[in-house]
């Protein structure tokens, strides 16, 4: 039976770790046609994740979304992932790297870029982006708008840097002040779900698994 590999961006978005900024959300609320294009792209990505022709169709939907509103960062992350999956790694890497240099770059973008560098055999460059993601997320954690999902994302980044899980005591010691009253069971459930199947090497290989073309 064919093993379905759910795309990276969809995973990050669906479990609430994507850190999508408020500008993106407000723009999407005003542009239902873009959401429709996303759904069409997702159809091709989920059902035919290793078929270049189908992924290229998905990319066309994303490019149409960008043409409607070029200011939604999520569209470019989708585009970067699909480019990578059809083998256009250099083009994908250039796109992600350019997004990371923007002032409003969000920490998941830095993390995705680190994963891409690691997948292409540049661990030191990957570590640079992981550390930048952690620094960016630390800033987020200090704000009162930080959610529990944001905090869990912090643990993901730490895991990719240190290569080890954290105990509940360590996790709780890092909680920002406004989250310290969170129910222990809630925290424990979130942390257990995070670490349940999180193996760094397999995580990267499964999410960036398509290797049709080279640089």
pTM of the model: 0.74
Q: Is 159 left (phi over 0), alpha (psi -120 to 50) or beta?
A: alpha
Domain boundaries, the chain: 122-208
CA geometry: angle 166, 171, 177, nearest 5 deg? 165
The SS3 of residue 76 is helix
- In this structure, are residues 105 and 99 in contact, taking their beta carbons and an 8 Å threshold? yes
End-to-end CA gap in the chain: 31
Which residues lie below 8 Å from residue 98, measured CB to CB, with a gap of 6+?
A: none
Question: 98-144: per-residue pLDDT in tens?
Answer: 999 988 888 888 988 998 888 888 999 999 999 999 998 888 888 88
pLDDT in tens, 139-175: 888 888 788 888 888 888 898 888 888 888 888 888 8
């Amino acid at each position: 039976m064919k093993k379905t590999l759910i795309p990276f961006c969809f995973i990050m978005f669906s479990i609430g770790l994507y850190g999508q900024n408020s500008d993106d959300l407000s723009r999407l609320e005003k542009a239902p046609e873009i959401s429709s294009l996303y759904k069409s792209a997702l159809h091709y990505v989920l059902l035919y994740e290793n078929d270049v022709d189908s992924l290229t169709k998905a990319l066309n939907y994303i490019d149409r979304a960008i043409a409607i509103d070029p200011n939604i960062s999520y569209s470019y992350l989708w585009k970067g992932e699909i480019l990578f999956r059809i083998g256009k790694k250099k083009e994908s890497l250039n796109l992600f790297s350019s997004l990371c240099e923007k002032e409003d770059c969000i920490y998941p973008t830095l993390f995705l870029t680190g994963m891409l560098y690691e997948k292409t055999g540049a661990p030191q460059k990957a570590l640079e982006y992981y550390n930048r993601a952690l620094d960016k997320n630390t800033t987020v954690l200090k704000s009162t708008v930080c959610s529990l999902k944001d905090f869990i994302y912090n643990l993901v980044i730490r895991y990719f840097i240190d290569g080890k899980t954290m105990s509940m005591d360590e996790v709780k010691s890092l909680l920002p002040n406004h989250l310290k009253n969170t129910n222990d069971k809630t925290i424990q459930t979130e942390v257990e779900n995070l670490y349940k199947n999180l193996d760094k090497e397999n995580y990267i290989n499964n999410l960036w698994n398509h290797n049709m073309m080279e640089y």
